[in-house]
C-alpha cells in the first residue's frame, strides 16, 4: 500500500533551539479511534454486570507494563472517580505487529501523530476532547528519560522521550496537569474497530486518497478494521488536504463512535463490550495510573451519564504557515487557545461558535432533535439545588472549530482532480 509523506523530525544545534527535518515521509494520523475508544472502553467496562468478574479478570490479563508519568494520580478503588479527569490519548505511527504486505517497515523514528486530551468535569456532567495538530510547533520541556529542551513539531515528542515526554509537553502547552495517559499503534485501531462492529460515517463528497488507499462514494459507510484506519489517516482525500482538515474529518468518526458506544444496543452486549475492552488493553501502552481495571471502571462511571451534546470535540486553534524550517507547519493561535484552556482549568463546559472545520459539513439528513418532555423539565419556580444547577457554559472563539457527539456531520471529500 502506498503511503503519504512522513515528517521525520531531527534535532540540530540544540543550543539554538532550532530543529531541522529530514526528507518528508508522513504516515498520517491514525489512531483517532483511540480518542473515544479510550473513553468508550472505560464506559463499556461498567456494563454487563452478569459477566463482570470473569471479563474484568480476562481484561486484566491483557494489560501491558505501564509508563510512569511526572504527575500521576493514585489508583482509586472500584466506584465512580471523584472530581475531574485529564487523560491524554496518543496515537503513534509504529508499524510493530502489522502486516508487511499492507504497511511498509518502520523507518526508525516513532512519531505521536495523534494527540487528544480528554477532560471530564468535576461534576461529571460534561467532557471536552481537544485534538492537537501533529505538525503544530511547540517547545519541548526537558523529559525524564532525556531529550527535550528544543522547539519543533509536537509529533516528534514521542520519539524524543516516550509517552511521559508527550504528556509533559502537552502539560506545558495547556497549563493543565495530566495524570492519565495511553498510547496506541496501528494494529490496535484495526482490532478495536473490529471489536466495536464498525462505525457508521457519512460522506458528503467523494473521498479519493491514493496515499492511504481510501476511496469512498457519497453516502453512509460502516467502517471497521483496516478501512476504519485508512479513513482516520486520510488527509489528501478530505477538506483542503491539510492536517487541520483531517482532524475535523476524524471528528465525524468520533461523534458517531460515541453515539454507538452509548447506544442501548452496545451497552447491553457484554460480548461486544469486553471484546472492545480486551482489544484496547492488549494494544495500548498505559500510564501506571491508568494501568488498572479498577481505574478504568472508575473513570467509566464518570463518563457513562454525560449527554451527547455535552461531549464536545474541539481542535487546538492554529494556522498553517511559518518561515524557514517551520514553513508549512501549524502555528498555534495562543489567544484563542487561552480561552479554551482557561475554561477547562476552571472546569466550565464549553460551547462552540465556529464551524465544524474544513474537513466536515453538517449532515443535511440529520435526525430532528427529540421533543422536550415538559414533565421532565424543571419549572422556573422549582428551587435550584447544587445537584441540578448547571455550570455556566463558556462559548469559545470562532477560531476554534469542532462539534459535539450529538452533532451529525459528514466528511467533506476531495477527489484526485482536486489534489
Average pLDDT over residues 251-268: 84
> Residue 291: pLDDT above 50?
yes
Cα-based angle 216, 219, 221 (whole degrees, multiple of 5): 65
pLDDT tens digits, residue range 218-249? 999 999 999 999 999 999 999 999 999 999 99
| DSSP category for residue 69 | -
CATH 3.40.630.190 fits 9-15+28-366+386-418, yes or no: yes
pLDDT tens digits, residue range 313-344? 999 999 887 677 787 899 999 999 999 999 99
Cell digits of residue 211:
496515499
Average pLDDT value over all residues in the chain:
79
**CB–CB of 118/41 below 8 Å?**
no
> Residue 185: pLDDT above 70?
yes
pLDDT tens digits, residue range 80-102? 678 899 999 999 888 877 777 77
> Residue 404: pLDDT above 80?
yes
| 229/376 Cα distance (integer angstroms) | 41
Highest mean pLDDT among 142-151, 274-283, 287-296: 142-151
- Which of 49-58, 200-209, 282-291 has the weakest average pLDDT? 49-58
Cα-based angle 87, 93, 94 (whole degrees, multiple of 5): 105
Residue-wise over 181-208: b if at least 16 C-beta within 10 A, else e?
A: bbbbbbbbbbbbbbbbebbebbbbbebb
- pTM for this predicted structure: 0.81
Q: What pLDDT, on the 0 to 100 scale, is given for residue 82?
A: 81
Q: What pLDDT, on the 0 to 100 scale, is given for residue 209?
A: 97
> Residue 19: pLDDT above 60?
no
pLDDT tens digits, residue range 93-141? 888 777 777 777 666 778 999 999 999 999 999 999 999 999 999 999 9
Q: What pLDDT, on the 0 to 100 scale, is given for residue 59?
A: 54
| 343/363 Cα distance (integer angstroms) | 29
Q: What pLDDT, on the 0 to 100 scale, is given for residue 195?
A: 80
Query: Under the phi-then-psi rule, with left for phi > 0, alpha for psi from -120 to 50, and beta for the rest, what region is 241?
Result: left
> Which among 125, 128, 120, 126 is positioned nearest to 84, based on CA atoms?
120
> Which among 137, 181, 175, 183 is positioned nearest to 156, based on CA atoms?
137
The residues near 376 (Cβ < 8 Å, ≥ 6 apart) are: none
**CB–CB of 232/210 below 8 Å?**
no
Average pLDDT over residues 344-364: 96
Q: What pLDDT, on the 0 to 100 scale, is given for residue 332?
A: 94
| 349/127 Cα distance (integer angstroms) | 7
Average pLDDT over residues 49-69: 58
> Residue 409: pLDDT above 80?
yes
Average pLDDT over residues 51-66: 55
**Percent of the chain whose pLDDT exceeds 70:** 71
Average pLDDT over residues 9-17: 35
- Which of 39-53, 257-271, 315-329, 401-415 has the weakest average pLDDT? 39-53
Amino acid at each position: 500500500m502506498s503511503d503519504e509523506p512522513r515528517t521525520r523530525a531531527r534535532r540540530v544545534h540544540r543550543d539554538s533551539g532550532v530543529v531541522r527535518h529530514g526528507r518528508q515521509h508522513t504516515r498520517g494520523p491514525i489512531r483517532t479511534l483511540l480518542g473515544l475508544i479510550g473513553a468508550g472502553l472505560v464506559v463499556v467496562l461498567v456494563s454487563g454486570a452478569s459477566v463482570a468478574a470473569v471479563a474484568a479478570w480476562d481484561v486484566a490479563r491483557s494489560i501491558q507494563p505501564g509508563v510512569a508519568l511526572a504527575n500521576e494520580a493514585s489508583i482509586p478503588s472500584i466506584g465512580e472517580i471523584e472530581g475531574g479527569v485529564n487523560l491524554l490519548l496518543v496515537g503513534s505511527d509504529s508499524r510493530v505487529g502489522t502486516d508487511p504486505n499492507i504497511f511498509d517497515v518502520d523507518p526508525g523514528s516513532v512519531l505521536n501523530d495523534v494527540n487528544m486530551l480528554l477532560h471530564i468535569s468535576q461534576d461529571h456532567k460534561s467532557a471536552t476532547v481537544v485534538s492537537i495538530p501533529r505538525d503544530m510547533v511547540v517547545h519541548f520541556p526537558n523529559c525524564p528519560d532525556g531529550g527535550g529542551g528544543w522547539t519543533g513539531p509536537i509529533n516528534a515528542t514521542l520519539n524524543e522521550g516516550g509517552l511521559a515526554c508527550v504528556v509533559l509537553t502537552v502539560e506545558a502547552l495547556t497549563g493543565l496537569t495530566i495524570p492519565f495517559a495511553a498510547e496506541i499503534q496501528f494494529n490496535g485501531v484495526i482490532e478495536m474497530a473490529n471489536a466495536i462492529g464498525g462505525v457508521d460515517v457519512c460522506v458528503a463528497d467523494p473521498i479519493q486518497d491514493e496515499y492511504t488507499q481510501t476511496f469512498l462514494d457519497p453516502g453512509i459507510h460502516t467502517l471497521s478494521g483496516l478501512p476504519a484506519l485508512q479513513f482516520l489517516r486520510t488527509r489528501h482525500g478530505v477538506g483542503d488536504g491539510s492536517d487541520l482538515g483531517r482532524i475535523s474529518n476524524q471528528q465525524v468518526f468520533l461523534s458517531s463512535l460515541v453515539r454507538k458506544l452509548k447506544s442501548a444496543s452496545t451497552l447491553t452486549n457484554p460480548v461486544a463490550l469486553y471484546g472492545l475492552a480486551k482489544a484496547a488493553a492488549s494494544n495500548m501502552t498505559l500510564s501506571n495510573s491508568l494501568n488498572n481495571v479498577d481505574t478504568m471502571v472508575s473513570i467509566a462511571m464518570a463518563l457513562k451519564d454525560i449527554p451527547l451534546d455535552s461531549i464536545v470535540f474541539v481542535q487546538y486553534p492554529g494556522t498553517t504557515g511559518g518561515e524557514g524550517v517551520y514553513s508549512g507547519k501549524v502555528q498555534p493561535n495562543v489567544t484563542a487557545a487561552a480561552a479554551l484552556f482557561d475554561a477547562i482549568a476552571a472546569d466550565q463546559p464549553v460551547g462552540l461558535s465556529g464551524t465544524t472545520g474544513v474537513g466536515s459539513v453538517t449532515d443535511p439528513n440529520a435526525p430532528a432533535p427529540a421533543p422536550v418532555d415538559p414533565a421532565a423539565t424543571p419549572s422556573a419556580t422549582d428551587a435550584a439545588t447544587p445537584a441540578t444547577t448547571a455550570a455556566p457554559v463558556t462559548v469559545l472563539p470562532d477560531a476554534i472549530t469542532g462539534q459535539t457527539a450529538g452533532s451529525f456531520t459528514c466528511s467533506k471529500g476531495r477527489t484526485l482532480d482536486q489534489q
